[in-house]
Amino acid sequence: MSRDGLKVTTLLLTKLLTGYYFGRVIKPHRHQAMMYSVVVNLRSPKDWRLKVQEFVARLEDRFDGRLLLLVALPSPSDLLYDSNVLVVLDDVRPGDLEAVVSLAPEDVNPLVVPSEDRDAVDAFLLRGGLRIGHKG
């Protein structure tokens, strides 16, 4: 597949998986709740996937229903905004950033954003990140 074809496919998957596309929300039917798909990139190194899954479990325990989405880049050496994992909370409260960082395993450098920050999610997805975990 060409690079342009890959970009188009990524954009379409972003739209399909996230329910929004570059800031334009695609509303679900009236009786449906917005749910994100869970995608695991099996081409990512196994030890990286396990670390990210461990991180998801820790975050779920700490943040309960406030954890909406986690997007991990394909490997720990891939960075965007000096981070390799995006953590999306329903809202970011005082102390949340410190709590997320304290729960991160070695090599996990999280960026924490509120659910309204669609630009960060788009950027991580376009950089090659795929959802590793989700609670919703």
Does residue 129 have a pLDDT over 60?
no
Amino acid at 17: L
Considering the domain boundaries, does residue 41 fall inside one? yes
Considering the domain boundaries, does residue 19 fall inside one? no
Q: What are phi and psi of 71, to 5 degrees?
A: -120, 120
Q: What is the separation of C-alpha 45 from the centre of its chain, rounded to a whole number of angstroms?
A: 17
Q: How many CB atoms lie within 10 A of CB 86?
A: 25
CA 41 – CA 27 distance, rounded (Å): 26
Amino acid at 124: F
CA 47 – CA 53 distance, rounded (Å): 10
Considering the domain boundaries, does residue 65 fall inside one? yes
Considering the domain boundaries, does residue 12 fall inside one? no
**Looking at residue 65, what is its pLDDT?**
86
Q: What is the pLDDT of residues 56-110, one digit of tens each?
A: 999 999 998 899 989 999 899 999 989 999 999 999 999 999 999 999 999 999 9
Considering the domain boundaries, does residue 25 fall inside one? no
**Looking at residue 36, what is its pLDDT?**
56
Does residue 37 have a pLDDT over 70?
no
Q: What is the pLDDT of residues 111-127, one digit of tens each?
A: 999 989 988 888 888 87
Considering the domain boundaries, does residue 17 fall inside one? no
**Looking at residue 18, what is its pLDDT?**
43
Considering the domain boundaries, does residue 8 fall inside one? no
CB contact set of 26 (below 8 Å; sequence gap of 6+) = 15, 19, 20
Q: What is the pLDDT of residues 45-63, one digit of tens each?
A: 999 999 999 999 999 999 9
- Check: pTM over 0.85? Answer yes or no: no
Q: How many separate domains does the chain show?
A: 1
Considering the domain boundaries, does residue 56 fall inside one? yes
Range of the domain at 120: 37-133
